[in-house]
Amino acid sequence: MSGRAASLLALRAFEAAARRLSFTDAAHELHVSQAAVSRHVRMLEAELGRPLFRRLHRRVELTAAGKRLVGELTAGFSQIGRAVEAVRSAPTRRLRISVEPAFAARWLVPRFGRFTAANPEIEVDLESSDELQTLGRGADIAIRFLGSTSRKPNGRARKLFTYTGFPVVSSGLRAGRPQRRSDSDVLAFRLLHDDDGSEWRRWFAAAGLDGFDAAKHLHFNDCSLTVTAVLRGQGVALSAPMYLQSQLRSGRLVRIGRTQVTFGDYWLLEATDRATAKARAAFIAWFYLEARNLFRRSETPAVGDLRARGAAQPR
């Protein structure tokens, strides 16, 4: 006998034949031919170097070695079957989350591995979209940005935090120049946009600064593209520390001036379906913990309910 492990197929064929004392019945149970069962049993006997059956006229009997082996195998296959059934019957909690692309890419996805590691039983469908899915049908949780002039959402909604922006520029663009501490320093750069220009106009008004129309502009249709452009030194952008904390701390980006403006709030919208209640609660608890940790470490704190008053309650 070699040290090689016996074939699992051969063991399974032998166990069925030994339990039923019939190669024909074993073949029916395993959905194979009788010849296949007989072949697997003979292969196993050859590997073990001893007979497992006494083949009599129209019936078989187990040898002493066969009786010993089938007892162990039946218990082993039963244990395997119970393990498989336990996994099959274990409830899988599915959670559908819809998040705006910029928030997903810059904030949520880099941290999301910690949620899945802590909640392996929750199967997550994460959709990155600007379109709001119908809660309960298209999504269980949605995270959306609403401008300062937008109406507050109805239903089960929680205000997460306020989005406050200030000008940032690549540190490479100020090489050889003194620290840019004046709001008017933005006029030395191209203005980067991910909207129709209203955010920069609001900032210019708050700073009491002229020159917006005379400035050079570069427009994008997504916040992530604007972040990439400012990191590449293509101009100055309005952004918040929640998106650029690591770049501000490392010095890759520097803030210009002192004026910052509030553009709106991020909201978490929640379905009311009982089937996903536990999965939603797990995600929301994890989300608030991550957000608190971020704002606690931030040198330029974001303004919002999470920092000022703790987690907002459902409306």
> Looking at residue 294, what is its pLDDT?
65
Considering the domain delimited by 8-89, tell me its CATH architecture.
Answer: Orthogonal Bundle (1.10)
**Structure-token pair, residue 56:** 């009599």
- Mean local confidence (pLDDT), 89-116: 84
Range with the poorest average pLDDT among 108-112, 114-118, 178-182, 288-292: 178-182
Q: Is the pLDDT of residue 96 over 80?
A: yes
Max CA pair span of the chain: 106
Give residue 87's pLDDT band: very low, low, confident or very high (50, 70, 90): low
Q: Are 142 and 269 contacting, i.e. CB atoms less than 8 angstroms apart?
A: yes
Does the pLDDT at position 129 exceed 80?
no
C-alpha to C-alpha distance for 55 and 67, rounded to whole angstroms:
14
pLDDT at 25: 92
Domain spans, the chain: 8-89, 93-308
- Arithmetic mean of pLDDT over the chain: 83
Q: For position 138, what pLDDT does the model report?
A: 81
pTM of the model: 0.59
Q: Which numeric CATH code is attached to 93-308?
A: 3.40.190.290
Is 299 in contact with 249 (CB distance < 8 Å)?
yes
**pLDDT at position 315 over 60:** no
- Band (54; pLDDT cuts 50, 70, 90): very high
| Residue 243 confidence class, pLDDT cut points 50, 70, 90 | confident
2 has pLDDT over 50: no
Instruction: Give the confidence band of 184 by pLDDT, cuts at 50, 70, 90.
Output: very high
CA dihedral 258, 229, 114, 137 (to 10 degrees): 100
What number is the average pLDDT over the span 83-108? Answer: 79
